[in-house]
Amino acid sequence: MHLTEAFLRMKFEQGVDYETFVASGEPHGHRPQWDERYGRLALDERQRAVVDGFVRDMKVLCLTGTWCGDCALQGAAMQRIAEASPRIELRFLPRSDEHADLIVPAQINAGFRVPVTWFLAEDFEPVSRFGDRTLSRYRSMARKALGDDFVPAPPPEDPVREVLREVLDEFERVQLLLRTSTRLRQRHGD
């Protein structure tokens, strides 16, 4: 299934803000992991400067679960980035039967994984899909499963902050893609 702008706009409008999404996991005891990660992921001065340079509006839709540790980490990172820029509108959707029409085409390596995040232009044109774990998380998993010799990159000093860096890199990559887009440059006259 090709995910059209109209479909993604509909899903985005069904999404909820960060606080509403995190609160939905509270009855199940899922909130503490989100709050802990959010508390550790304030942007530093250099990261804020990157986000301050964003000039194109972007919509970000994250299919996720309150129960998922990687979701809490990436979701909190995305929220911190979105809070730093009026150019970013972030929404969350739970991985549930209600959104099977989005989950099925979002498969990664033949699996229903989370988080999966769509970066969309201001007009809901799909720009990028990001998921499920970041490179540093896969390196960590590979070290545990296959041994240190398999992964030549050293482990990060702070794995939580490393995920923030990786997520911010994707936001910046998408922003540059939007900024250099011929279609959007013509639209905005720049």
Instruction: Say which CATH number the domain at 32 has.
Output: 3.40.30.10
**81: pLDDT strictly greater than 90:** yes
Report the length, in residues, of the chain. 190
Nearest to 150 by CA among 141, 160, 159, 158: 141
CA distance 23 to 42: 20
Continuous H helices in the chain: 5-14, 18-24, 31-40, 45-52, 69-83, 100-103, 135-146, 159-180, 182-188
Pairing of the two strands 88-94 and 116-121: unpaired
Please provide the average confidence, as pLDDT, over all residues in the chain. 91
Percent of the chain topping pLDDT 70: 94
- Mean of the pLDDT values across residues 142-166? 90
Split at pLDDT 50, 70, 90, the class of 71 is: very high
Query: What is the model's pLDDT at position 2?
Result: 65
**101: pLDDT strictly greater than 80:** no
**Whole-number Cα distances in Å, 58 to 47, 98, 106, 179:** 18, 25, 20, 11
- Mean of the pLDDT values across residues 88-112? 76
Q: How many domains does the chain have?
A: 1
Residue 1, C-beta contacts closer than 8 angstroms, at least 6 positions apart: 101, 104, 105
Domain extent, residue 32, equals 5-188
Query: What is the model's pLDDT at position 107?
Result: 66
> What pLDDT digit, counting tens, does each position of 27-37 carry?
999 999 999 99
